[in-house]
Structure 1
Amino acid sequence: MQQANYLQQLLVTLRTRLLVMCASVGIALEEAGKALAANDPGRAAAVIESDAAIDALENEIDEMALRLLARSQPVAGDLRFVVTSLRMVVDLERIGDEAVSISEQAILMQNMPGFSMMSHVRELYEGAREAFESAVRVFRDNDAQGALALSRGDDEAVQNEVRIIQGIMECLSDPHCSLKPHVAMHIILVARSLTRIWRRSINIAEHVYFIGRGESLKHRGDGREEAAVSLTEPLQPGAYERAAASGSGNKAPDASAGEKQQLRRSKERHTDN
């Protein structure tokens, strides 16, 4: 009983430190967005300086989780939580790094006009920030169902980035556009960082689902499951004939008359022997 209580105390401490890291990363992301929107190099520099504290939290949580695994040997849901914490800190640290990258671009763009015209960048930032806050919320609440819903937002992140790049390309091709190529490069780098933040937030949601349900959501969207289902499901009556008639089926071509006759002769020779 005493050993079980000690293990639970360690797990609570580990969870608390993870939530502290989530809060630190969230502040960095919010401050990076404000620095970018207001062209505030001082705020951006503060985000860059705060990254060392986030890195220190990652090292602390790593050591805590490994020590817990070695000494307490958790099982079942407790083991999933400890293993997942080692993965989650990587995503959190990377989100912090992307906040630093955005802040660096904010410093480089502080005297460059043109960013304000990119409304899609602001939309992508809001989407990425909301995805991160939702990921932290489902982790705090142990909400596996909410984590599953959040994990389906990967396509939206990519679509937002594509819209930004398309808008930049269209603007640069317009002789009357005031956007300069070097400014466009900085905007694309910001969009890339925001997409990564969004995707890392989805990773955190997938970790939460694994903790709660014991099932991995990784690589579920590559079409393998759908392909396996389609290969194992029987054809409905008449489906094969309809597909062949329409020319859309995967039926192999029939052998020619000469090939069929050759096969019959081969069988006859083997029978005679």
Structure 2
Amino acid sequence: MVLQDYTPQHMLATLRTRLLVMYAQVDIALEEAARSYEKGEAVRAIAVCDGDTAIDALENEIDELCLRLMARIKPVAGDLRFVVAALRMVVDLERIGDEAVTVAEQTVLMEDVPGRRILADEVCGMMQRAREAFMRAMDCFREGNGEEALALRNCEDEALQNEMRIVQRLLELLRQEEGKRPDPQLVMHTLLVVRALTRIWRRSVNLAEQVYFMQHGQSLKHSGEKK
């Protein structure tokens, strides 16, 4: 991307646009990973894995753009906070994309294991909540609503609670008598999916917190205060 003829405001607008594109790409990956799991569609899951390179490329592009912005226009105040937040956001966005790939990979692997999906309704419910957290974080950035970050942050504990509830149910299933307990491979794949969903949820909170930082210049990362 050639930037030497761009004005500072044009460069900042370009950064915002590319971030929105990356948000959209990750959102598509999450949606497709969720559908592949819910419907057991290995072909759709493989497409999610293949599409991860586009997200990685956007991370590299945005990193480079941020570094050029820092070097050429030396942003201050709100503009500086925006560039710093962007550098942090792309890390979380890329890793959320990686977690979507994890869900997709486990979906493909489950196709090779005999037996029905276990706790499918519970996992799909958690998947929906994780996607909602990401969409709220995306809206937070698009609308510049830092206060929504506080509301989303208050829901963060729900992710761990959901994970622990499903893990407990899986352990109960494994303790059933011979002939009734599920295939241990299915349990393992389900655990990996649930763990990925927890990470998606938490990284979505991180994204929203960066919007709060952009607006208020205050980091919520290590703050225990929730409102």
- Match for 2:172 among 170, 173, 176? 170
Q: Matches of 2:206 and 2:156 in 1, distance apart?
A: 10
Q: Matches of 2:117 and 2:168 in 1, distance apart?
A: 15
Instruction: For residues 117-144 of structure 1, give each alpha carbon's deviation from its aligned partner in whole angstroms, at most 9, with x where no partner exists.
Output: 3322111101110000000001000001
* Structure 1 residue matching 2:7: 3-state secondary structure: helix
Matches within 5 A, 1:74-223: 74-112=75-113, 113-175=115-177, 177-221=180-224
Q: Which residue of 2 is the match for residue 265 of structure 1?
A: none
Q: Following TM superposition, by how much is the alpha carbon of 1:62 offset from its aligned partner in structure 2, in angstroms?
A: 0.2
- Which amino acid is 1:195 matched to? T
Instruction: For residues 53-87 of structure 1, give each alpha carbon's deviation from its aligned partner in whole angstroms, at most 9, with x where no partner exists.
Output: 10000000000000000000010010000011000
Larger RCO (alpha carbons 8 Å, 6+ apart): 2
- Which amino acid is 1:134 matched to? R
- Which amino acid is 1:159 matched to? Q
Q: Structure 2 length as normaliser, TM-score?
A: 0.93
Contact 2:118/2:190 (<8 A) preserved? no
Contact 1:132/1:198 (<8 A) preserved? yes
The count of aligned residue pairs is 219
Q: Following TM superposition, by how much is the alpha carbon of 1:210 offset from its aligned partner in structure 2, in angstroms?
A: 0.3
Change (3 A) 1:116 1:174: closer
Q: Matches of 1:159 and 1:67 in 2, distance apart?
A: 42
Q: Following TM superposition, by how much is the alpha carbon of 1:196 offset from its aligned partner in structure 2, in angstroms?
A: 0.3
Q: Following TM superposition, by how much is the alpha carbon of 1:174 offset from its aligned partner in structure 2, in angstroms?
A: 1.5
Q: Following TM superposition, by how much is the alpha carbon of 1:116 offset from its aligned partner in structure 2, in angstroms?
A: 4.9
Q: Matches of 2:102 and 2:170 in 1, distance apart?
A: 20
- Which amino acid is 2:148 matched to? G
Q: Structure 1 length as normaliser, TM-score?
A: 0.77
* Structure 2 residue matching 1:199: 3-state secondary structure: helix
Q: Following TM superposition, by how much is the alpha carbon of 1:171 offset from its aligned partner in structure 2, in angstroms?
A: 1.1
* Structure 2 residue matching 1:115: 3-state secondary structure: coil
User: Which protein shows a greater Rg?
Assistant: 1
Q: Following TM superposition, by how much is the alpha carbon of 1:111 offset from its aligned partner in structure 2, in angstroms?
A: 4.3
| Unmatched segments (≥5 aa) in structure 1 | 226-273
Matches within 5 A, 1:17-96: 17-96=18-97
Q: Matches of 2:38 and 2:85 in 1, distance apart?
A: 34
Q: Following TM superposition, by how much is the alpha carbon of 1:8 offset from its aligned partner in structure 2, in angstroms?
A: 1.2
Residue range with higher mean Cα deviation, 147-156 or 82-91:
147-156
Q: Matches of 2:95 and 2:180 in 1, distance apart?
A: 35
- Which amino acid is 2:162 matched to? N
Contact 1:118/1:164 (<8 A) preserved? no
Q: Matches of 2:208 and 2:153 in 1, distance apart?
A: 6
Contact 1:139/1:208 (<8 A) preserved? yes
Residue range with higher mean Cα deviation, 34-43 or 133-142:
34-43
Moved over 4 A (4+): none
Q: Matches of 1:12 and 1:58 in 2, distance apart?
A: 17
Q: Matches of 1:87 and 1:204 in 2, distance apart?
A: 8
**RMSD across aligned positions (CA):** 1.5
Identical pairs, percent: 54
Q: Following TM superposition, by how much is the alpha carbon of 1:6 offset from its aligned partner in structure 2, in angstroms?
A: 1.6
Q: Given the alignment of the two structures, is residue 14 of structure 1 paired with residue 44 of structure 2, yes or no?
A: no
Q: Following TM superposition, by how much is the alpha carbon of 1:114 offset from its aligned partner in structure 2, in angstroms?
A: 3.3
Contact 1:120/1:163 (<8 A) preserved? no
